[in-house]
Structure 1
């Protein structure tokens, strides 16, 4: 993280100037935060020592269908759960949230611990979350629409067409889903594990959320589903197994399009390599 004066930070990112009305005095300093793929965020430390994270709205966030206002709505609704940072301030330039002090769980998180946190999220009262349900087809269509024409070719075209429609599954209800739950988005604190980076969060089929984390953690799907259902006390495990297996190729295709779009936006060939690796998983 690069630490710099507030004026230097504002010169680099003009969206920080929109916080002038929030702070009675200019913050002490700001630091760039690394690790996020979508977001280029800032740690902002006020003169009283209190720290925040500034999550700007940018052309990149818009390209990935990220709404800072929806993120604010979700964080505000679940604030009493103590699972997430508190949403502090929102404007058309971005979202300010509390900084969570602790140690990253990037390399120190068991799948059991991840599932216990995921279940806490899935058990939150969705009546308090005033956002529209996630639309899988609309999301992948949006990614596809923004891709350059040279990416809309075989075999990407066939994979997109085959898997662009959500599966027809037994209804297990909608829950709040994080959609990027892994150690890199979790912080170990004195009050327990907390979750950061809620920009992709939505009301959705929890089996998709589970599928995404199974893939990130490289777990065996069947074992992972049984473990989740046992921890959550879910009956009808077959509906969950069927759901995860049906979502798996769709989640992979969605991630593939995400990396193709990231390659277009940033020009980093590593994103193209990731997209190609995901494409190859369909061959196996």
Structure 2
């Protein structure tokens, strides 16, 4: 209830929806880091993705998200922007069920995203990790050990600099009336496609090999070179996830998020044999 009250206070900014007639507002399920709202605005349903105090801690900006989606306005698989401002972004509501199609079709779409022009803002894991670290109030001993480990770890050389979604899980693929639509673009940025694939693989119930095999069907890269890069980025994906859980858990005072982060911290400490 406290979280809902906090979010309610944050999205009700005086200028965000000035002149809009709102006849319905309800929180949408999901959105662990940044809850969103289903609104009926001027007679049509829309999703309000508000700016919150957590977004700057995560290195995110709603204007960046709006600019990415504006650049994709001609694509049927991207939500349409109705309003973009500093207080948040208002998107056309995409109704439909969660994607139940093939992995190959999903990877074909991801490869198409990677062929779009890269935005100006980028996600570089070492920089984003240090940004997360500076915003964490109470880092654990394990987290400090992980930080020292990753500060000395070699950073993979990007394969390319392309538009990436960076949250391309099945939970963000919707079977809309006009076909498959990808939602939740707040983490989208320019980056290495292999990093995006690594993040996708972590969220998938498919094996890493299956994800890569499906993706290479739609690109000129070989399975061997893509596998090498994805494997090199995987530890960085896991480290960013640990930091995200800690940061979001502290912000929302969520034991569920904090405990998930602690479990992943311990798993990485074990996998990397840190401290031995």
Q: Shared fold (TM-score greater than 0.5)?
A: yes
Match of 1:35 among 9, 14, 30: 30
User: How far apart, CA to CA, are the structure 2 residues paired with 1:152 and 1:270?
Assistant: 16
The residue aligned with 2:231 is 245
Please state how far the C-alpha of 1:114 moved relative to its aligned partner: 2.4
Shift in CA distance, 235/199, structure 1 to aligned 2, threshold 3 Å:
closer
- 1:58-97 equivalences under 5 Å are 58-97=52-91
Q: TM-score, normalised by structure 1?
A: 0.85
Match status 1:173 vs 2:160: yes
The residue aligned with 1:98 is 92
Please state how far the C-alpha of 1:20 moved relative to its aligned partner: 4.3
Match of 2:15 among 15, 18, 26: 18
Shift in CA distance, 14/258, structure 1 to aligned 2, threshold 3 Å:
closer
Match of 2:115 among 116, 123, 135: 123
Please state how far the C-alpha of 1:110 moved relative to its aligned partner: 4.0
SS of the equivalent of 1:79 reads coil
CA contact (8 A) 1:111 1:217 kept: no
CA contact (8 A) 1:15 1:94 kept: no
The residue aligned with 1:137 is 126
SS of the equivalent of 2:25 reads strand
Match of 1:235 among 217, 221, 240: 221
SS of the equivalent of 1:261 reads helix
Larger relative contact order (CA 8 Å, sep ≥ 6) = 2
Q: TM-score, normalised by structure 2?
A: 0.87
Compute the RMSD of aligned alpha carbons.
2.1
Match status 1:222 vs 2:209: yes
User: How far apart, CA to CA, are the structure 2 residues paired with 1:96 and 1:22?
Assistant: 14
The residue aligned with 1:262 is 248
- 1:172-191 equivalences under 5 Å are 172-191=159-178
Shift in CA distance, 134/275, structure 1 to aligned 2, threshold 3 Å:
same
Shift in CA distance, 63/190, structure 1 to aligned 2, threshold 3 Å:
same
Shift in CA distance, 31/226, structure 1 to aligned 2, threshold 3 Å:
same
The residue aligned with 1:54 is 48
SS of the equivalent of 1:215 reads helix
CA contact (8 A) 1:52 1:98 kept: yes
User: How far apart, CA to CA, are the structure 2 residues paired with 1:11 and 1:233?
Assistant: 44
Match of 1:147 among 117, 129, 136: 136
CA contact (8 A) 2:98 2:175 kept: yes
| Structure 2: gaps of 5 or more residues | 1-6, 272-276
User: How far apart, CA to CA, are the structure 1 residues paired with 2:168 and 2:59?
Assistant: 18
| Alignment length (residue pairs) | 263
Match of 2:104 among 98, 104, 112: 112
